[in-house]
Amino acid sequence: MEFRRIGFSAVPFLLVLLFSTQSFSYFFEPASPDYSLVSGATAETEAMEDVSLNRKYLWGYAEDTIHIAASPAGWGRREWFTAAAAVGTAAGLYYFDQNVKNWTVENKNGTTQKLADFGNHFGVGYNLLPGLGAFYLYGVAADDSRAKRAALLSVESFFIGGFFSTAVKYATHRQRPADGDRYDNWDGPALRASDMSFCSGHATAAFSVMTVIATEYRDKPLVPPIAYGLALLTALSRIHDGAHWTSDAFVGSAIGYFTAKAIMSLHRKKTNFAVMPAVGGRHAGISIIFSF
């Protein structure tokens, strides 16, 4: 059955709300303030948990997936506003999907194809997972907890993001641009493994991994732009090759990005500390009190 009515065509974008994450709030959080040692001042600092390849880490896949899937129930006004902005952007891109496809076909050349071929490498597990495995082994050998954490959380984000994007694919069954169909052909829920354009699994994979790396190494000036640049190139490559419509690539990217941000948020550990005056006899000073 074909669904060409705009009303049904908007439904897949609403599914993004169900498979997005609580990390909308993380994305819009203000930068941590620079606390001064003022009498009575209190603050909360955040650090990441140490992550190791053990039973707790593996069981965390199920726990984090459930937490992310259920997170819309706890959203506030800010989270729903951000979700609405994401859905609105996807809907706007959907309106221009056919035009973008036509323009892309008319402007392909050898250079764009080479870039697309390169970008596609970062959207598949058989390229990403071995590299992450090697990075984890480096972290173990060098006793680098950040490298181990980045590798393991990237793998977790890859699989959880892939689970969400695959669920959307089976729920919508949108036909691909390369099949020669119009942008508004949707077959709805089914269990067959065809017509799975919405959303881009390659884009989800790239952003789910690169967002973890960019977030973990955000103190390194070159890492975030390179990581996000590679993920963006992957998403654009899928549009270039006719594998996905523009809105497919955007939604896949959003699922990967927000899934990764949620996983990073779930693996934070918080340390509360207070700076208090200490006065006794002839001596005065400050006391720093930590609670974990």
The pTM score is 0.80
Read off the pLDDT of each residue in 208-226 and give the average, rounded to a whole number.
96
Q: How many CB atoms lie within 10 A of CB 149?
A: 21
pLDDT of residue 34: 38
pLDDT tens-digit series, residues 247-285: 999 999 999 999 999 999 999 875 444 444 544 555 445
pLDDT tens-digit series, residues 107-127: 999 999 999 999 999 999 999
pLDDT of residue 270: 57
Q: Is the pLDDT of residue 242 over 50?
A: yes
pLDDT of residue 197: 94
Domain boundaries, the chain: 6-29+68-291
Assign 276 to helix, strand or coil.
strand
For the chain, the average pLDDT equals: 82
What is the bridge-based pairing of β-strands 268-280 and 283-291? antiparallel
Residue spans of beta strands (DSSP E) within the chain: 42-48, 268-280, 283-291
Q: Look up tokens 């909360």; give the residue.
A: 44
pLDDT bucket at 1, cuts 50 / 70 / 90: very low
- As to burial, measured by CB atoms within 10 angstroms (0-12 exposed, 13-18 middle, 19+ buried), residue 152 is buried
Of 157-171, 225-239, 278-292, minimum mean pLDDT range: 278-292
CA dist 139 and 162 (Å) reads 25
CA dist 190 and 170 (Å) reads 6
Phi and psi angles of residue 157, each rounded to the nearest 5 degrees, phi first: -60, -40
Long-range contacts of 102-108 (CB under 8 A, 24+ apart): 104/239, 104/240, 104/242, 105/242, 108/240
pLDDT bucket at 47, cuts 50 / 70 / 90: confident
Read off the pLDDT of each residue in 65-80 and give the average, rounded to a whole number.
92
Taking alpha carbons only, the member of 265, 238, 263 closest to residue 253 is 238
